[in-house]
Chain A
């Protein structure tokens, strides 16, 4: 029987959404620098999404491989490559 991964290793990351809290004070900021900061922020959020995708892949890997070796059958919830299945 294959081991089950511990809960800590299957955790995903979530981010809070921006609420647009205003202070009423205005400041000036250089467009170029603000744009660069927005780029980094957007990329960082995208990186969280991609890592969550991979965590999902890892979870699916664990679940599907375990089920296949224990039952000899591919569970319906697990993807298979159409033509790559053995006869």
Chain B
């Protein structure tokens, strides 16, 4: 710039300085060009690298999602099976309860009641049979508790 200003003003610079200036400018231009090229290459490489990393991340993510979906399907199948199993168990318990209720009523029906309001005519009722029926239900309840504890 100083050289150009002195030229415009008509100043005279020493010849060696003018030669040096004429030599420095092309070198600087060449360095700038080389720097720009390096920057461009770096930038391109960076973009390409980022794209590649993004694709890789996307693929890894898709794979993880696929694994998660498979796990979810397995879990759903297992949970469905557990639901079916508990439904069967509940039904068996309900059937047992109904059976025991019927048996207890049969025992009640089979025992003669009082005749003409006379308390002395009543027959003793077999409470032991009722006890056995109720205990069978208790055993069923405790057995299901054992099974549930074993699932922990």
Q: Which residues of A are interface residues toward B (Cβ below 8 A)? A: 10, 12-18, 20, 26, 28, 31, 34-35, 38-39, 41-43, 45-46, 48-50, 52-57, 59-61, 63-65, 68-69, 72-74, 78-81, 84-86
Contact = CB atoms under 8 A, between A and B. Distances in A.
Interface of B: 67, 70-71, 73-75, 77-86, 89-90, 93-94, 96-97, 100-101, 104-105, 108, 111, 113-114, 119, 122, 124, 127-128, 130-131, 133-135, 137-145, 147-152
Contacts of B141: 13-15, 45-46, 48-49, 52
Contacts of B101: 38-39, 42-43
A36 to B, nearest CB: 10
Contact of A81 (B80, B90, B150): B80
Contacts of A35: 104-105, 108
